Amino acid sequence: MINDTQNNLVIEKRKLPPGDFAIWIFIMAELLVFAILFATYAFTRAGDVELFNASQLSLNQNFALINTLTLITSSYFVVRAVAAMREDKAKNCFNWLIAAIFMGLIFLVVKSIEYNHHYSEGINMRTNQFFMFYFALTFFHFMHVVMGMVILGANAVKTRAGNYTSENHTGLETGASYWHMVDMVWLILFPLIYVMR
Amino acid sequence: MTKGIPLKPCTIVYILLMLLTLFTWYAGVSEFSGLTISFIVLGLSLLKGHLIGDYYMGLKTVSGGWRWLIVGWLVLPGMLITIAFFISAG
């Protein structure tokens, strides 16, 4: 148990992480794949630093900033949704989930604008090694955002249908854990691809 | 008694994550380069990941090694990226 005296709460220690146990196996597998991709990017970069640095400068960091803030905000909204459900406030939970999905949609729109900008300049996966990694990594993550939005959408439908209670909302915690994983991956991807040189 | 992390620390973490992101973005648009700034930015990102794991995923309240699995995941690519950047600088 953890005593949170500031908030006058006693927090019960869990034996297992929030959500379905299977999602944590899936999350760890996904994280391992991303770790390998990040390391592959970094070691490939070591072979041609000038090319990677020059190509990186053509990326729009403002788009990346908007997307990072959007995902962090979306994750926070999901935290609020789970907290609302713990208090049996299903309507609030639903609203926070919709807000989180909306933020995910903003991420997809901004990323699509960025992709379109690259393609209009004739930049694609075959341009050079940097852009091969850039498109592969960011699109792989993009698809995870889409998947996360589908899961959060299913959570929202079940919330609205009254399938979750303060005592039983494992499905909601499962979706939330997946969404936070998607956020966590982007927090490493953003500096690695856009900033570090 | 609650099974989750209270909202207040999560809100503080949210503000911290936003501020650290702005710092990373500033380092990018200012076109700072070199090992020092790269490692500062990487370190901050790993810290952000740790905060997400602890407070948003709620692993701070989970007994056993779950919390350290996420820390391990952050350290693994962090170390490999650090080694690769050292190689590229040398």
Instruction: List pLDDT tens digits, range A66-115.
Output: 999 999 999 999 999 999 999 999 999 999 999 999 999 999 999 999 99
Rounded distance between C-alpha atoms, residue B45 and residue B39, angstroms: 10
B42: closest chain A residue by CA: A191
For residue A162, what are its two tokens?
Answer: 């009254």
pLDDT of the residue at B1: 42
B82: closest chain A residue by CA: A42
Rounded distance between C-alpha atoms, residue A25 and residue A23, angstroms: 5
Spatial neighbors of B8 by CB under 8 A, at least 6 apart, are: A6, A7
Give the strand pairing for A2-4 and A9-11: antiparallel
Question: Where residue B3 falls among pLDDT bands split at 50, 70, 90?
Answer: low
Question: Where residue B55 falls among pLDDT bands split at 50, 70, 90?
Answer: very high
- The reply to whether A68 touches chain B by the CB within 8 Å rule is yes
For residue A15, what are its two tokens?
Answer: 């034996």
Domain ranges of chain B: 35-90
Low-confidence ranges of chain A (pLDDT < 50): none
Nearest CB among B6, B41, B64 relative to A7 is that of B6
Rounded distance between C-alpha atoms, residue B46 and residue B59, angstroms: 16
Residue A76 counted as domain residue: yes
CB contacts of B5 in chain A (<8 Å) are 11
Task: Note whether A28 contacts B7, CB cutoff 8 Å.
Answer: no
pLDDT of the residue at A4: 54
Residue A182 counted as domain residue: yes
Measured torsion, CA atoms of residues A70, A158, A92, A179, in degrees rounded to the nearest 10: -20
SS3 A9: strand
Rounded distance between C-alpha atoms, residue B35 and residue A163, angstroms: 51
Rounded distance between C-alpha atoms, residue B83 and residue B77, angstroms: 10
Question: Where residue B33 falls among pLDDT bands split at 50, 70, 90?
Answer: confident
């005593």: which residue's tokens? A3
Task: Give the DSSP letter of residue A13.
Answer: P
Q: What is the pTM of this model?
A: 0.93
Task: Note whether A187 contacts B48, CB cutoff 8 Å.
Answer: yes
The count of structural domains within chain A is 1
Domain range for A111: 19-195
3-state secondary structure B33-89: CCHHHHHHHHHHHHHHHHHHHHHHCCHHHECCCHHHHHHHHHHHHHHHHHHHHHHHH
For residue A40, what are its two tokens?
Answer: 């592959």
Closest CA to B80 of A137, A142, A139, A45: A45
CATH number, position A140: 1.20.120.80
Please name the amino acid found at residue B8. Answer: K
Task: Note whether B57 contacts A18, CB cutoff 8 Å.
Answer: yes
pLDDT of the residue at B65: 86
B27: closest chain A residue by CA: A195
CB contacts of B70 in chain A (<8 Å) are 31, 184
Task: Note whether A80 contacts B28, CB cutoff 8 Å.
Answer: no
A67: closest chain B residue by CA: B21
Measured torsion, CA atoms of residues A58, A185, A164, A157, in degrees rounded to the nearest 10: 30
pLDDT of the residue at A11: 60
Question: Where residue B7 falls among pLDDT bands split at 50, 70, 90?
Answer: very high
pLDDT of the residue at B27: 94
Spatial neighbors of A175 by CB under 8 A, at least 6 apart, are: A19, A78, A148, A151, A152, A154, A155
Higher pLDDT, A193 or B5: A193
Residue A12 counted as domain residue: no
Output the average pLDDT for chain A. Answer: 94
Size of interface A-B (CB pairs under 8 A): 170
Residue A49 counted as domain residue: yes
